[in-house]
Amino acid sequence: MTHASPDTATGKTHSLIDSKLAMGWMHTARFFTTAAQLNQLPRVEVPEIAFVGRSNAGKSTAINTLTQQKQLAFASKKPGRTQHINLFALGKQGVTDAVLADLPGYGYAAVSRSDKERWQRVMLNYLMSRESLSAVVLLCDPRLGLTELDEALLEAIRPRVEAGLKFLILLTKSDKLTRAEQAKILSITKLNAGGGEVRLFSALKKQGVDDVAQLLWHWCHPEGLPAAPAVAQATTIATEPEQNQP
Ligand SMILES: Nc1nc2c(ncn2[C@@H]2O[C@H](COP(=O)(O)OP(=O)(O)O)[C@@H](O)[C@H]2O)c(=O)[nH]1
Ligand SMILES: [Mg+2]
């Protein structure tokens, strides 16, 4: 099996086999559980990848595109209404090897100030203390750039990024930019990404889809492909609530 390691020049993960493997893996995503608060989330023993971003950044669309499922993360017509952390399991049935966490979008104007503040606390608490969190994908509409809340989020996770938390800024809706604008925003964002990865992404044009799937696969499988018998021993999800949470 020729699975590629990231290309150091471009930071991209190329290989046809890898792409099929990664896209097939993303496609296994299924609903696992939902929780309004951190202490209601189950402890998980596998890498967890959180998707965060302001309302309307394209988060639901990106999750649906990456998992090749129309309704997995409901592309809500009422952004900001579903204030829950939704978890999706990845991997073959019975051998979950990663979890996607879909966090509610922030910054939605029509939500009351107290709801916003409550939600920001839940989110920051999650990002700073969730044990299984191994990667954060921040979705950003490049026409708006990184907002104050995006910056606050980056600041909050900085110590964990320095301690090894993986981090990707996804510049969404790239089909709305010209090639020149894409190149410009990509280089500017890379300068501000503090060592994290940055990718252009378009659900419409399918730009970046394979590459992001491969990146997430590699993050969740740092050892590469396990030998066939080891797959059956992949870690499972426990069902008790997370302990020691406020
Ligand atoms: N042109 C274009 N529009 C997109 C893309 N991704 C999302 N959108 C649109 O942006 C709006 C917000 O998307 P949604 O996924 O619901 O954002 P969320 O609030 O972050 O979950 C919707 O009208 C989507 O159709 C994309 O790649 N290209
Ligand atoms: Mg959404």
The count of structural domains within the chain is 1
122 domain-assigned: yes
CA–CA dist 196, 215 (Å, integer): 12
238 domain-assigned: no
Q: Is the CB of 57 under 6 A from ligand 1?
A: yes
232 domain-assigned: no
- Among the atoms of ligand 1, which is closest to the Cα of residue 76? 16
Q: List the CATH number of the domain containing 190.
A: 3.40.50.300
CA–CA dist 239, 135 (Å, integer): 22
Q: Is the CB of 204 under 6 A from ligand 1?
A: yes
Ligand 1 centroid from CA 66, angstroms = 13
CA–CA dist 238, 61 (Å, integer): 29
Percent of residues, the chain, with pLDDT higher than 90: 58
9 domain-assigned: no
206: domain range?
16-222
Which residue has tokens 């600041």? 155
Overall average pLDDT of the 105-113 stretch: 79
6 domain-assigned: no
Give backbone dihedrals phi and psi of 101, rounded to 5 degrees, phi first. -115, 120
10 domain-assigned: no
Predicted confidence at residue 241, as pLDDT, reads 52
Q: pLDDT tens, 30-83?
A: 999 988 889 999 999 999 999 999 989 999 999 999 999 988 886 544 444 467
Overall average pLDDT of the 92-104 stretch: 92
Predicted confidence at residue 2, as pLDDT, reads 43
Overall average pLDDT of the 124-144 stretch: 95
Q: pLDDT tens, 167-216?
A: 999 999 999 999 999 999 999 999 988 889 999 999 999 999 999 999 99
Predicted confidence at residue 88, as pLDDT, reads 94
Predicted confidence at residue 192, as pLDDT, reads 87
70 domain-assigned: yes
138 domain-assigned: yes
Q: Is the CB of 60 under 6 A from ligand 1?
A: yes
CA–CA dist 127, 136 (Å, integer): 8
